[in-house]
Amino acid sequence: MLLPVHEVGQASSKHDDRPLPTRAGDTISRVVKPLLKVDGAPRTALLVILALLGALTGAPGAAAQTAGFSSGTSSARTTTSAGSSLDASGLLGLKEPTGQVPVLSLDDVIRIALDSAPDARLATERVIQQDASVRRAWALLLPTLSVGAAYTHTCTGGTDGVDCGDRTTAFSDPEQLNQQSLLFQTLADVMGVAADAAGDPAEAAEFRARQVELETAAADIKNTDVTPVVVQPASQLSGQVTLSMPLLNPRAYPALLNAYDGQGAARLAENQARQALVLSVVRAYYAAVTAERIHEASTRQVELATAQRDAVAARVAAATQPILAEKRATLELLRAKQTLAQARAAADNAVAVVGALMGRDERFTLSPPPVQAPSALSVDDEARLVETALQDRLEVKTQRTALTIAERGTLDAWMQFMPSVALTASARATSFTQGFVRDPVTGVLTISATLPLYDGGLRYASLDESTSRASEERIRLKQLEDRVASQVRGNVRDVAVRVEANALAQEALVVAKEAQAQAQALFDAGVGTSLDLTETNVAVFAAETEALRAELDLAMARIGLRWAVGESLYDTGS
């Protein structure tokens, strides 16, 4: 829903009434140019009319431009993609729809433009990208867990061929073990004979004990396992689990804070891009509506010229007027029809500009703009308006965020002097348990600390660079604040000028209509000339066109002031 707006229009205080250039570089449209080659007393008024129509027709891109406010750190452009294409392509046109011609309100136009404009969609994608940056910053402080697995198959080969079996080694010889067992058994038999021959029972018992020990040793040696030991299996399956946890990572903290600030700046830029698009759409919409009103005035001018031509023709037929008067009346009718054609072309082109902003190529019509509540802005308190702009303008907020991020870069540089501590826990499992290691799972826990002592001066260079960047952003902020304050003051004064110009234009229209009524009365009474009536008719049309243009300029000045102080023109939902 459109927020309360008094009027809409142009934000820049540099606006003037000069027709904007066309592709060919002329000051008015090529269609208007031949019409300037006219003679007679109404030439000056007709020039004014054609110049006004040329301003609407010759610069379609102007309706798609924003107020001209920009910031060096803002990602939101103040010219939409549609507006850029308009500047490059000149006049625009819409094709006929297959069904009924739709009627669009201002809310409809804004909603469609916000949904389809590339700039708004790009700004939304940048917000998504910045959200991902926040997650990346958190990754510097959160643990990481990884799992790995491997399968290994080993083959060896040489002149004897290729062997894909297990590689083994033996630590004892079976024949040697048998000889050692036989030796121990022989000694045991000797001890048995000695025990039988001993006369002392104690001595005999000692020999029997030694015999038992030797027989046991002989049996153990004989029963020793001589199976080869596998030192390298042909096939092996292994797996590993690793957990890493940063206990102290000084640089992660400023990086995380910067990521959150960057996220906020991206959302500001998205809102700024959408508000800039709304400004372009509203300006184009009101320009199109004004062009339609000028076309209606041109239609009335043709009706007046037709009635005058018929009246003069009747008097010529009655021999009360010379035939030259009829020729003049016919010429003025042709000029009025030419102006009507030009007004129709200007209105069609203005509607096509709105269609380009919406990404729509089929013809449509625009409903009258809604009646808006008066703006709450007071142009009498210029200082308060400047203060409000410095608080609410999106590009100023974005620049302040950029300054905060730059200042935090100095903190990041100091953090490079701090130590970092990390914990790593890993567990490894293997299918090879036939060798010297019988446990299938082994685990390791490591705590490591790193303190940089010398890095070739990199940390000091980072410190100097971050300090300079912070100073640069402060300068940019001061420059932007001065420009915003100047824009507010310029728009405040522009509103006052446009109010006065509109009042004068409305007064001139009243005078022109009174003069036309008097000329018509004198002509009907037979004492006025057709030339007087022609001049007053053209003067009314010129005054009416100028009044419409003055109303549009005032509306643009007021909406420009709202933009300059940072008011939201439309609830974009961002």
Q: What is the Cα–Cα distance from 58 to 342, expressed in whole angstroms?
A: 11
The predicted-structure confidence for 1-26, as pLDDT tens digits, reads as follows: 444 333 433 333 333 333 333 333 33
518 falls within a domain: yes
Q: Do 324 and 465 belong to one domain?
A: yes
Comparing 235 with 296, which gets the higher pLDDT? 296
Q: Do 127 and 192 belong to one domain?
A: no
Q: Do 270 and 342 belong to one domain?
A: yes
Q: Do 216 and 307 belong to one domain?
A: no
- Model confidence band, residue 50 (pLDDT cutoffs 50, 70, 90): very low
Q: Do 296 and 365 belong to one domain?
A: yes
DSSP string, 425-455: EEEEEES--SSS---SEEEEEEEEEE-----
Cβ atoms of residues 377 and 385 within 8 Å = yes
Task: Output the pLDDT for position 372.
Answer: 59
Q: Mean pLDDT for the chain? A: 80
506 falls within a domain: yes
DSSP string, 247-262: EE-TTHHHHHHHHHHH
Q: Do 88 and 209 belong to one domain?
A: no
72: exposed, middle or buried (C-beta count within 10 Å: 0-12, 13-18, 19+)?
middle
Q: Do 125 and 149 belong to one domain?
A: no
Q: What is the Cα–Cα distance from 524 to 465, expressed in whole angstroms?
A: 85
Asked whether the predicted pLDDT for residue 556 surpasses 60, the reply is: yes
Q: Residue 552: what residue type?
A: L
Cβ atoms of residues 255 and 140 within 8 Å = yes
Instruction: Give percent of the chain above pLDDT 70.
Output: 81
Q: Do 264 and 406 belong to one domain?
A: yes
Q: Do 399 and 285 belong to one domain?
A: yes
Q: What is the Cα–Cα distance from 305 to 310, expressed in whole angstroms?
A: 9
Task: Output the pLDDT for position 80.
Answer: 40
Q: What is the Cα–Cα distance from 103 to 99, expressed in whole angstroms?
A: 12
12 falls within a domain: no
Pick from 86, 93, 95: nearest CA to 22: 86
Pick from 555, 391, 387, 480: nearest CA to 11: 555
546: exposed, middle or buried (C-beta count within 10 Å: 0-12, 13-18, 19+)?
buried
* Count of residues in the chain: 574
Asked whether the predicted pLDDT for residue 302 surpasses 90, the reply is: yes
5 falls within a domain: no
> In terms of residue numbers, what domain contains 523?
33-141+251-416+455-565
Comparing 285 with 431, which gets the higher pLDDT? 285
CB neighbours of residue 256 within 10 Å = 18
Asked whether the predicted pLDDT for residue 362 surpasses 70, the reply is: yes
Task: Output the pLDDT for position 376.
Answer: 62
Q: Do 148 and 280 belong to one domain?
A: no
Task: Output the pLDDT for position 3.
Answer: 42
Q: Which residues contact 414 (CB under 8 A, 6 or more apart)?
A: 463
3-state secondary structure of 148: strand
Q: 451, 476, 506 — which closes off a domain?
A: 451
DSSP string, 289-305: HHHHHHHHHHHHHHHHH
Q: Which helix (H) or strand (E) holds 107?
A: helix 106-116
Task: Output the pLDDT for position 65.
Answer: 35
| Six-digit token string for 49 | 């009319």
87 falls within a domain: yes
* Dihedral over alpha carbons 471, 477, 482, 486 (to 10 degrees): 160
Q: Do 379 and 523 belong to one domain?
A: yes
Q: Which residues pair with 240 in a beta bridge?
A: 148, 428
Q: Do 214 and 330 belong to one domain?
A: no
Q: Residue 439 is part of a domain; what is its CATH number?
A: 2.20.200
Comparing 380 with 186, which gets the higher pLDDT? 186
109 falls within a domain: yes
Q: How many domains does the chain have?
A: 3
